[in-house]
Amino acid sequence: MMDKEYYVKLSQDAQENYTFYKEDAEASIHRREYTTSKRYDIAPYWYARQGEVPGDISDEETDTYYEFDQDDRIRVSACDELIDGYAYITYEENKMTTRTFVDGILDSIKEYLLQGGLIDRSMEYFPRFDKLEVEDYIYEGTTLVQIYQPQYENDAYFDHLLRTHFEYDEQGNLLRVLDGAKGVIYIRMPSEEVLILRETVKEELFQALKEIISDLCENQSGKEYCFMSIYLHDEVHTVYSPIFHPGLKEVRDEQVEENDNNEDEYYYTIWNSGDHPMNDQQELTDQHLIQKLRTLIMYWRSNGDWWEEGMSLWKEVAYALNEKTNWSDYSILTENFVVFVEWEAIDVMNGDLQESIPHAKLLRLQSENLAPTV
């Protein structure tokens, strides 16, 4: 493998000859294409691996655009990944090189080495971090079956990044992408199969969360709980493996007593799980269920709406738990105990609890001044 010193020299050359590479690329331009966001990448299956959706071609001028030469090769990409970042691409017989600059300063230089017309290896050097990232592309015939990143070879923490696996259907179309731990990164499924999996996962999450609450009740020591928050963060893994954060009645009682008649602050405070002890937090433990949920989330991620779909699923689980479970069977849960979905931008004052809590239970909370009247 070419050593880092080689790329340090390439970086120095790119920076010293910035104007040359910029003008050389621009002189070859035959047409420009504006897009709504990043649309092209040389790396095979880049979008499937990243779980992103390619941008659309735009009829209007946008900040993101690509410029092509007469052979329809991209020579310039503008702001497709970096704000004010411009990449200039050169082509040789067995190599493509991308030099990316931000405000005229080199951000990275990347080489793609080809064999038989296929990308055999890519190497990207980031001078700011003195960091070299390598990918080896492994084929069966002309079909990409694996990507290997040797820089992660001896670090178990990055085992999921060491190898990426590609699976195809009988027609040769990409079906699934798996990480080094065989976790789903990308999956293609018929819509009816997605609906069936969603209903299966919803029912299993219902049962799993009910068991988690039961276990919490059995293992407590003199505590009484007033809610269980399903906390979602805006990162994919927190939606397929969220934190379940119980709220203590004694903490809420103190908050109620300290009410200073500021409604917005009061209701936000008494529904904020972050004010309650972290040592009571719970998580899903059924790895088969986690993988099913992950498959759903990754499918939605590849279609651009994983956050909304994931949140909707968890709200339905919470609603079903509140509707179908008699919490009075659990002696250490308050009579108005509920499960609800919480996230950083939750707006309790504008009805965000309603999708988790059935109307009858919400009315009871409102009657006790524990929920706002929306």
d(Cα 325, Cα 81) in Å, to the nearest integer?
47
Pairing between β-strand 225-232 and β-strand 333-343 as defined by DSSP bridges: parallel
Q: Report the pLDDT value the prediction gives residue 331, as an integer from 0 to 100.
A: 84
Give the chain's residues under pLDDT 70.
1-2, 220-221
Q: Report the pLDDT value the prediction gives residue 221, as an integer from 0 to 100.
A: 67
**Do residues 225 and 245 touch, judged by C-beta distance below 8 A?**
no
Which sequence spans correspond to the domains of the chain? Answer: 4-187, 191-367
Q: Report the pLDDT value the prediction gives residue 218, as an integer from 0 to 100.
A: 83
CA distances from 55 to 7, 8, 22, 123, 236 (A): 31, 33, 24, 25, 20
Q: Report the pLDDT value the prediction gives residue 264, as an integer from 0 to 100.
A: 84
First-last CA distance in the chain: 63
Q: Report the pLDDT value the prediction gives residue 7, as an integer from 0 to 100.
A: 94
Chain-centroid distance of CA 54 in Å reads: 15
Q: Report the pLDDT value the prediction gives residue 79, as an integer from 0 to 100.
A: 96
Q: Report the pLDDT value the prediction gives residue 2, as an integer from 0 to 100.
A: 54
Count the helix, strand and coil residues of the chain and give each as a percent rounded to the nearest 5. Answer: 40, 30, 35
Phi-psi label, residue 306: left if phi above 0, alpha if psi -120 to 50, beta otherwise: alpha
Tracing tokens 């790895």 back to the chain, one arrives at 287
**Tokens standing for 203?**
């029912």
For 144, residues 6+ apart whose C-beta sits below 8 A from its C-beta are: 44, 45, 118, 137, 138, 166
CA distances from 357 to 239, 314, 316, 320 (A): 19, 12, 9, 9
**Other beta carbons within 10 Å of 37:** 16
pLDDT tens digits, one per residue of 252-308: 999 999 887 788 899 999 999 999 999 889 999 999 999 999 999 999 998 878 999
Q: Report the pLDDT value the prediction gives residue 28, as an integer from 0 to 100.
A: 97
DSSP code of 282? B
**Tokens standing for 320?**
């079903």
Q: Report the pLDDT value the prediction gives residue 217, as an integer from 0 to 100.
A: 86
* Residue % of the chain over a pLDDT of 70: 99
For 101, residues 6+ apart whose C-beta sits below 8 A from its C-beta are: 18, 22, 85, 86, 87, 88, 107
